[in-house]
Chains A and B, each alone.
Chain A
């Protein structure tokens, strides 16, 4: 991993991001990022993508509890009564 191409760097990006690169490879990786603006931008985009995924559904799941789907609740309660009957 002496001379890293952009293609190789992007291949290793997943491991780097998860903290899985050994330290010597990490140093080569970071040296490339330091002199290659497109790879630096790619890394930042990648990081933002992960953050976008983690936040993209928060509003959906947070806004649900006010409206309990009554028909579904009744179906679930009924199913249990039916199951517990001898």
Chain B
């Protein structure tokens, strides 16, 4: 999702396709919708965790594609551009819904003794991340654990570590300072490490 990986990666076929979209070609639009609606729906679901909201956001996103296709510069891939539109729409939806104050993440952070040592010293995990990810129950466990993080932390973690946005992009998408992105990311990773630790520590049959 960073500019260096997406730069200059737009293919000739995609250019032709985008040109058709700009001209209002209905068949091209239908092809766009059919190609991307599924993946974009699962992105929206991840952020919103509510089926109806996710559908609304995907619909809004395609409506905004129609309005803004002229502004699509082609310095990124179409899929990258669409991804960002959906993420933006999902974040906007969350912002309008947010009513309760942010929960604290402190209970999920590691504890320390007076002398600065870890209260529960970390130990090596029984398996590497890549091995663990081969197992469906681990992937589900990771997703569940991410879901336990307070929303402001969950958003930063997903934008940075799941969707590959960099610190500046994340700050812009969330409307917060770069420093806040860094702090929240570090805390979110620590909290998640703590939640996963009991499951990753044991060699599971």
Q: Which residues of A contact B (CB under 8 A)?
A: 5-8, 10, 13-15, 18, 37-39, 41-42, 44-57, 59-61, 64-65, 67-69, 72-73, 75-77, 79-80, 83-84
Residues B41 and A64 in contact, CB atoms below 8 Å apart? yes
We find that the number of chain B residues with CB closer than 8 angstroms to chain A is 57
Q: Is the CB of A45 within 8 A of B200?
A: yes
Q: Is the CB of B129 within 8 A of A69?
A: no
CA distance A50 to B132 in the complex (A): 13
List the 5 shortest-distance A-B pairs measured between CB atoms, nearest first.
A5-B116, A14-B186, A51-B129, A64-B38, A38-B121
Chain A interface helix/strand/loop/mixed: helix
8 Å CB contact of A56 from B42, B43, B143, B186: B143
Least Cβ distance of B56 to chain A in Å? 10
A46 surroundings in chain B (CB, below 8 A): 189-190, 193
A13 touches B186 (CB 8 A): yes
- Contact across chains for B190 and A10 when beta carbons are under 8 A apart: yes
Q: List 17 A-B contacts (CB under 8 A).
A: A38-B118, A41-B124, A42-B110, A48-B128, A48-B129, A48-B132, A49-B192, A51-B130, A53-B157, A53-B162, A54-B162, A61-B43, A64-B38, A68-B34, A76-B58, A76-B62, A77-B30
In the docked arrangement, what's the CA distance between A48 and B142, Å?
Answer: 11
Is there an interface contact between A83 and B63, defined as CB atoms closer than 8 Å?
Answer: yes
Chain A minimum-CB-distance residue to B140: A56
Q: Nearest chain-B residue to A60 (Cβ)?
A: B42
Would B37 and A69 count as touching, CB distance under 8 A?
A: yes
> Which residue from chain A places its CB closest to the CB of B55 in the assembled complex?
A72
